Amino acid sequence: MIKISWGDLTPEKFLQEYWQKKPLLIKQAVPGFTGTIEADELAGLAMEQEIESRIISHDGNEQWQVHHGPFEDFSQFGEQNWTLLVQAVNNWSRETNQLLSLVNFIPRWRVDDVMVSFSTPEGGVGAHLDQYDVFILQGEGRRRWQVGAPDASLKTLLPHPDLKQVSPFDPLIDEITEPGDLLYIPPNHPHNGVSVENSLNFSIGFQAPSNQDLWSGFADILIDKNLGEARFTDPNRTACVDSSQLTEKDTKALHAFMLSQFNDTAMFNEFIGKYLTQNHHALELLIPMEAFEQAYVVEILDNEDIHLAPVSGIKALIIDEPSPCLYINGDAFTLCEETKPLAKLLASSDPLTTKTLKSFTDCLKNTQLLTNVLNKGYWFIEE
């Protein structure tokens, strides 16, 4: 498991002083790091239909172009002034997914994906803002990174319909990053990375749900479960003074009526568990051609030459209240005292040996849980 070499900082101090507040560059945060994927493998991913990729290029004279993947050939882009960005590489590369352990001091539900970029000399996406926190780990090569403070006077620029940039800003950080350096950029801080030479950047991007997404997600659950059909009632109404008025009493009653379901902890927790474990990018789900029987799962656990692994990048979390539940990829698996220890292992992203798993199968409920996650394709059998 790789960890950040914090130097004088600790995760606690980082959260207090920098998280969502100030950018930070940690030199040699991961000594010896050069990358988890080679540039040509990245180019291979950018050729795949289901993987989101872009190439952003410029002519050195502020003329910018955006090309969307999948790509068949990269030769037209030449030797410089462009960058290839591939989203959610951690869903396809387990080594890249392991980079998430760098930010284990922040819960997994806050993390979105690991985006990887390959940039040629002078390549970059230009000065811009992002709405999310990001940790950018420098792999191979060097890049000049400038990061500034939020500044309402910055102008939004649209040098291409698919490319939002901002006007030049005063940098708080202006450094050349080298392999193993880690840059933290809070939301809405202008930044610009310009490659010095061919270089790879690994961006651990965070997710922060918007209020409107949460409300509409909650409404979707009510509709799916047909739970939103109850009507407002007012059996204790008294004659009103002015029929054109919506009284404070009625407003409060309507407000309480709407909130009654929102305040139902079981319903809210089921919604939020499902919502937060949904992946925003394609995953390599491995659904078996024919559903496994529980007896078959017990049988394969005798084989010590295989192990069970989660699909790379899959999101899982456990919510204990009001009754324990494991959420994986937007699905809920109800737990009990006997299945909680196994669920804890299934919620981590580490492969499990058959020997470890075998110890759980004395309990039928554990075998059932394991069979369910295998049949959903969230975990798979690996030779």
Instruction: Please give the residue ranges that form the binding site for ligand SIN (CB under 6 A).
Output: 83, 117, 124-125, 130, 191, 193, 201, 203
Question: Smaller CB distance to ligand SIN: residue 147 or 328?
Answer: 147
Distance between CA 79 and CA 126 in Å, rounded?
A: 18
User: Which of 122-130, 139-147, 257-265, 296-304 is the region at the interface with Co ion (rule: CB under 5 A)?
Assistant: 122-130
Which one, 51 or 183, has the nearer CB to Co ion? 183
Residue 164 sits in the site that holds Co ion (CB under 5 A): no
Q: How far is the CB of 193 from Co ion (least distance, A)?
A: 8
Residue type, 16: Q
Query: Could you tell me which stretch among 24-32, 43-51, 123-131, 143-151 binds Co ion (CB under 5 A)?
Result: 123-131
Taking residue 365's Cβ as centre, other Cβ atoms within 10 Å add up to: 15
Q: How far is the CB of 124 from ligand SIN (least distance, A)?
A: 6
Q: CB of 135: closest distance to Co ion in angstroms? A: 11
CA distance linking residue 319 with residue 297, whole number of Å: 26
Task: Give which of 95, 77, 88, 83 is closest to 39, Cα–Cα.
Answer: 83
| Binding-site partner at residue 143 among Co ion, ligand SIN, none, CB < 5 to 8 Å by type | none
Q: How many CB atoms lie within 10 A of CB 81?
A: 22
CB nearer to Co ion: pick between 130 and 178: 130
From the list ligand SIN, Co ion, none, which binds 195 (C-beta under 5 to 8 Å, kind-based)? Answer: none
Please identify, using beta-carbon distances, which residue of 88 and 326 lies nearer to ligand SIN.
Answer: 88
Q: Which residue's CB is nearer to ligand SIN, number 130 or number 338? A: 130
- Distance CA(356)–CA(248), nearest Å, equals 60
Distance in Å, CB of 178 to Co ion, minimum: 19
Q: Does 48 bind Co ion (CB under 5 A)?
A: no
Q: Are strands 182-185 and 352-353 parallel, antiparallel or unpaired?
A: unpaired
Least distance in angstroms from the C-beta of 24 to ligand SIN: 15
**Residue 22 vs 358, nearer CB to ligand SIN:** 22
Binding residue (CB under 5 A) for Co ion from 38, 48, 122, 130: 130
Token code pair at residue 85:
């960005």
Of the candidates 153, 183, 176, the one whose C-alpha atom is nearest the C-alpha of residue 166 is 153
- Our CB check for ligand SIN shows the closer of 83 and 97 to be 83
Q: Least distance to ligand SIN from the beta carbon of 169, Å? A: 13
- Beta-carbon count within 10 A of 131 CB: 10
- Partner from ligand SIN, Co ion, none binding residue 201, C-beta < 5-8 Å depending on class: ligand SIN
Which residue of the chain is nearest ligand SIN when measured via CB?
A: 117
Q: Annotate 280-344 with DSSP letters as a single string.
A: SS-------SSPPPHHHHHHHTT-TT-EEEEPTT--EEEE-SSS-EEEETTEEEE--TTTHHHHH
Stretch that binds Co ion, among 46-54, 72-80, 124-132, 254-262 (CB under 5 A): 124-132
SS3 label, residue 380? strand
Q: What angle do CA 217, 222, 223 make, to 5 degrees?
A: 95
Give the CA distances from residue 278 to residues 112, 222, 252, in Å, rounded to whole numbers and listed in that order.
Answer: 10, 17, 34
Q: Is 188 in the site for Co ion (CB under 5 A)?
A: no
Distances (CA, A) of 243 to 193, 238, 247, 256, 280: 62, 12, 9, 21, 48
Q: Which is nearer to Co ion, 130 or 175 (CB)?
A: 130
Q: Report the partner that residue 83 touches, choosing among ligand SIN, Co ion, none (CB closer than 5 to 8 A by kind).
A: ligand SIN
> Which parts of this chain interact with Co ion (CB under 5 A)?
130
